[in-house]
Chain A
Amino acid sequence: MNSPKHPVVILGGGIAGISAALELAKLGHEAALIEKSPFFGGHAAHFCCKATDKCQKCGACLVDQRLRELFQAPDIALYPHTELTHAERGNGHFRLAFKSKPDIIDPTRCIDCGICYDECPSIDKGAVLVAASATQHPRYFIDPEGCLLSHECLLQGCQRMCPAKAIDLTREDSAFELEASAVIVATGYQPADPASRPHYGYGRLLQVITGRELEEKLRLGEDLTRPDGQPARRLGFIQCVGSRDRLHPYCSRVCCAYGLRLAKLIRHHHPEVEAVTFYMDIQSIGADPAGFQAEACQAVHLVRAMPGGLQASPEGSLIARYLDESTDQPVSREFDLVVLAVGISPGKDNPDLAEMLDLTLTPEGFFQSLDGEHRTGTTQPGVFLAGTAEGPRSIAECISQAAAAAREVHEYIKALV
């Protein structure tokens, strides 16, 4: 098989990978951007705007514009739904093997009508996935893994109904190789598992949602309701879920910011809603932490305590029990929705990827950077890190680190020649 040459291969098409690719293009390098999921944009594409009477500087609004730039950039080759399977190096070059899920939907024919999604009997299994960002084309992806019946599907509704004749369920996985001079690992994170705090009953109590789920609801303009349809008037936010505990002995660095921004946002649009944030310590947020904290205190009731547990009340609300700091008495408080500010956990493929690329992981499971002065470098020459693959950071910090990694790559390639 012939393997096209791309001087730089970037693993991960989230905000860090996209930014690194765009930076490299501007510095005159060709890059291949590999994304495991069918869509680019990563987690940030699912976040909502948190502006109240002014911008809250979360950076989520940048994703669509960056994606548009990415899709129009001539020197960036895009490989969605593709995974690294093998890596080796010789003569300073990497030979990387990938496998791709098939383009069952032909992008040149698809008109993003969504009929395949509507017709699919196996949606709950994830047979047809929808991109968060409208910039993505095709916006839909038929995943052979979720499509249980695959090409033996008796209905084959999607293929029959597709008005553009874009669907061919017989298309199969493909494998290919790329050669690269340098690799940027920008594989990102996975949200911490909210079930790691079982006493909050995530999955069991339907009134308990994650911050990410709240962002998604707000982004799509959905009303805030309890599972029983009643409007949610009392909101509790619990910080540090999946951070700063035995399993996650580190601060995820972004949750205070997004948790409080979400609470402020909701209070801004619905002043009648109560918002209570339970926390251990508030971290510095943004360019003016004191100002931010003062504003947050005005909008949100901050309680320095972690609820011991949540219980469903017969009226469909949740009861949180916690120790009140000023009175030292156990207090019960009712909430219609409780939002868990889940933290940043290392990607679950990190161990495999580290083995393939001969990298080491930190005790927490993130990729180990060379040292505190080289957060983008690794022990392997030619392999660089960007974004949350290296440790928890915000959107702006990911962009900044991606720019740094792009320059490191630029200098590395210059030295090779």
Chain B
Amino acid sequence: MSILRPLEIIIAHGPELAAAGLDPHEFALAVGGFPKTRILLLDPALPEEEQQDRLRRFLGKGHRRPVVIASTDPESRAAATLRILRRTFQCNPERLSVVDLQPALEQRDKKSRRLKGLELIRLAAAHVTRAFPIHPEEVPVSTRVLVWGDSFAALKAAQELAASGYPVTLAGPKPELHPLDPEVPHLPVSAGLAALVGEVLSTDNIRVLTEVSLLAVEGAAGNFTVRLELAREVLEETAGAVILAPELEIDSHHQAFGLPAHPRLISLTEVERLLEKGEPTSFAPEEGGTVALLAGFSPESSPPGLRRVLAAAAQLLKQANLQVYLFLGQARVAAPGLEAALEAAQENGLIVFKLPDMPEIAPADGGTGLTVSFVEPVLRRPVKLSVEAAGLEEIYCAAAANAALAKVLEIPLNPRGFLQGDNVHLTPVATWRRGIYSAGPGRGVMGLDQALMDVEAAVAEVQKLLGQGAAHVPQGRAVVDRGLCVLCLTCYRVCPHRAITYDNRARIEEIACQGCGTCASECPQEAIQIRNYTDDQVTALFESFDPQLSPRIVAFLCRNSAWEAYQAALKLKHADIPPGLTAIKMPCAGKIDVDYLLRAVVYGSKAVMVLACHPDNCKSRHGNEFARWRVEQVQTYLAEVGLDPQRVLFKSLAANAPQDFLDAVAEMEARLGAMSGAPPKAAVR
């Protein structure tokens, strides 16, 4: 029997059930026919006190049973009732199943509406009566934070953390702290920032370590074991969290354009050095001479680079009374005030040529200077311009050491060598490994303003994680059966969050586990179960299907995308969802087992749908890829036993694309229509 133990069912309804032709009393009587069940009809529009009163009488003191609450659009319509259940009656979220009756009201005739409504509640009951509560527990954590790098972002993070009471180890590979503002790397920074180095060095709570290499970060958030190699020793310490902010590297990309090596063709850094020394005349010896600056020709050109070029141009114009030409490829002006600065520079005498490609630069015949050849963009004719010297914009890259760092930290590197992906589900500073954050220059090329905002966001993440030395960690979301585990380490390899460690068996690091279930589905020993998505529970759902509703289609939906799209689709007026479609919410597509797909067919499904996030959008990194592979695998199995592999469909979609959900359902129905094979066997057993 699918309902395992006694439970309470609440039907929260207003006039909509009756309006849709589903008499609530008659429906309640039918639900009351379920075994081990008590039932309450409640109007969610009643005043809260009244509802509370009725619920108290219904549930009784110290109630222990799981609860199913059914309503149309329950999270909004029955919001008050849910609030009372969660707050006043302390219903554990895992033991409170919220059922949306909307799919029942979508049905065309009265009988289907009733059957669908009953099935929805039966499925929820089957699931919730097998559920275990998950309680968050306070776990002691280390409040020490390792800040890696010597950028302003790193220093600022150290300062902010120390001010909030977190002891900090600030470590990096360089011999001394020499942070850089990407927009003014060789000029004095603001007073506040200039004081930062001194402040960090004099704060008691910050230990500064230089010339360090990071050997290992083991374990999980809250209690990482960090090993640092110093000049004479290896230091091992415990850190609750890690913030990565290694400084950007500056690249004079001469070679990329095949430019000639020439003493007068110099990088912007050299231009700035000369300006700093007050020797622009050594740059262009003749008063009133001409200088070319080149920017925006590389795909890596960035707004901070352009800002530097404009600053240098302004100084050249002002200090030395030079004529300055700016040869500009793409004007990367996507930063505050930069477009206005470019306009202002032109008003102040900077002459700008916008070109599609890098102009040709050659040593001047018989002179010390250079010639710049290009097609003048307004008059459209070739021009040769003699300049005394030329300065080339520089581009910013990720620290070269990031690759090695990523390896040690076991986090992926992004395509440009930064320590963070750009998965939209992660907060911008989070990495895949919980407790490790990447801020400012650690995650991309950005101005200091954005980098310092990143620092605030990363420090906030640390505060939320470590609190005052205790983290709230849900216990037992994933459980390893130590009797079954053979330490094959499949789970260790597939876990996207690095939440699995091992002693003589695999172990789940609860604080890092996000409950995606990729490990559970991949485990060849079936030794890992995700609590409340156990194989038992999923099978119980299949057992609760009503064979009268057809065509039977089981849709496994990732809760981060497809489930949202399904919820939104239910509210579209033209939604046409077949009566036999059962949507099963999964914590991630990575938890959709081969076994579930096959079993769905065995239990009489004509079709099985697996709907996951788009590639590169999975909150668990590659759960969607696992799901796609498994669908392909199941399709070959079906073909082997003579069933049409088209019965299993994989599609990726986004949370805000309900139409894509409906299109996928329509495609499945079309496939079913086209199929000429024998109908599937009736349920086994």
Q: Which positions in A face B, CB cutoff 8 Å?
A: 23, 26-27, 47-49, 51, 53-55, 57-65, 68, 71-72, 74, 106-109, 111-114, 133-139, 163-165, 219-221, 244, 249-251, 253, 256, 280-284, 286-291, 293-294, 304, 325, 328, 363, 371-376, 391, 396-397, 399-401, 403-408, 410-411
Contact = CB atoms under 8 A, between A and B. Distances in A.
Contacts of A290: 299-300, 416
Contacts of A289: 299-300
A221 B659 contact: yes
Contact of B415 (A58, A72, A137, A288): A288
Nearest to B86: A74
Interface in B121-174: 164
Given A113-B16, A164-B14, A164-B15, A407 B459 contact: yes
Given A65-B564, A251-B339, A284-B332, 6 more contacts: A64-B564, A111-B19, A139-B571, A219-B657, A249-B343, A288-B415
A411 B456 CA distance: 11
A291 B330 contact: no
Interface string B382-425: 00000000000000000000000000000000111010111111
B448 to A, nearest CB: 7
B615 A55 contact: yes
A283 B299 contact: no
A26 to B, nearest CB: 5
B464 A26 contact: yes
B560 interface: yes
A23 B464 CA distance: 9
Interface in B15-58: 15-16, 19, 44-45
Interface string B309-340: 00000000000000000000011111111111
A109 B45 contact: yes
16 contacts: A51-B614, A55-B424, A55-B616, A58-B424, A62-B424, A65-B564, A74-B83, A111-B14, A134-B658, A135-B568, A284-B302, A284-B303, A373-B452, A396-B422, A403-B427, A408-B456
Contacts of B571: 112, 134, 139
Contacts of A405: 456
A68 B213 CA distance: 44
A281 B296 CA distance: 9
A249 B659 contact: no
A134 B657 CA distance: 11
Contacts of B212: none
Given A61-B654, A289-B299, A376 B380 contact: no
A165 to B, nearest CB: 7
A256 B334 CA distance: 10
Interface stretch (B59-67, B73-81, B548-556): B73-81
B435 interface: no
A374 B450 CA distance: 9
Interface of B, helix, strand, loop or mixed by DSSP: loop
Contact of A373 (B192, B340, B614, B615): B192
Nearest to B299: A290
Nearest to B380: A328
A24 B560 CA distance: 23
A27 B422 contact: no
A391 B190 CA distance: 22
A251 B655 contact: no
Contacts of A133: 568, 656
Nearest to B428: A400
Contact of A61 (B429, B452, B572, B656): B656
B617 A165 contact: no
Contacts of A281: 296, 330-333
B192 A27 contact: no
A406 B330 contact: no
A53 B615 contact: yes
B458 to A, nearest CB: 9
B44 A108 contact: yes
A79 to B, nearest CB: 16
Contacts of A112: 73, 76, 571
Contact of A163 (B15, B331, B455, B655): B15
B579 interface: no
A407 B15 contact: no
Interface of B: 14-16, 19, 44-45, 72-73, 75-77, 79-80, 83, 86-87, 164, 190, 192-193, 296, 299-303, 330-340, 343, 356, 380, 414-416, 418, 420-425, 427-429, 444-445, 447-450, 452-457, 459-461, 463-464, 560-561, 564, 567-568, 570-573, 613-617, 652-660, 662-663
A134 B570 CA distance: 9
A336 B190 CA distance: 52
B2 to A, nearest CB: 28
Given A49-B657, A400-B428, A404-B453, A54 B75 contact: no
A251 B16 contact: no
B414 A287 contact: yes
Contacts of A221: 657, 659-660, 662-663
B453 A400 contact: yes
A71 B571 CA distance: 17
Contacts of A106: 45
A74 B338 CA distance: 42
Contact of B76 (A71, A113, A304): A71
B615 A61 contact: no
A396 B568 contact: no
A411 B164 contact: yes
Given A112-B73, A139-B571, A164 B564 contact: no
Chain B CB count within 10 A is highest, among A49, A55, A293, for A55
Contacts of B447: 372
Contacts of A294: 299
Given A163-B16, A281-B331, A283-B332, A400 B457 contact: yes
Contacts of A291: 415
A400 B356 CA distance: 34
In order of increasing CB-CB distance, the 10 nearest A-B pairs are A137-B76, A221-B659, A404-B456, A49-B654, A55-B617, A290-B299, A403-B457, A134-B568, A407-B460, A51-B614
Contacts of A256: 334
B193 A373 contact: yes
A304 B658 CA distance: 36
B16 A164 contact: yes
A57 B426 CA distance: 11
Given A51-B617, A54-B614, A165-B15, A137 B77 contact: yes
Nearest to A323: B380
Contacts of B455: 404
A114 B568 contact: no
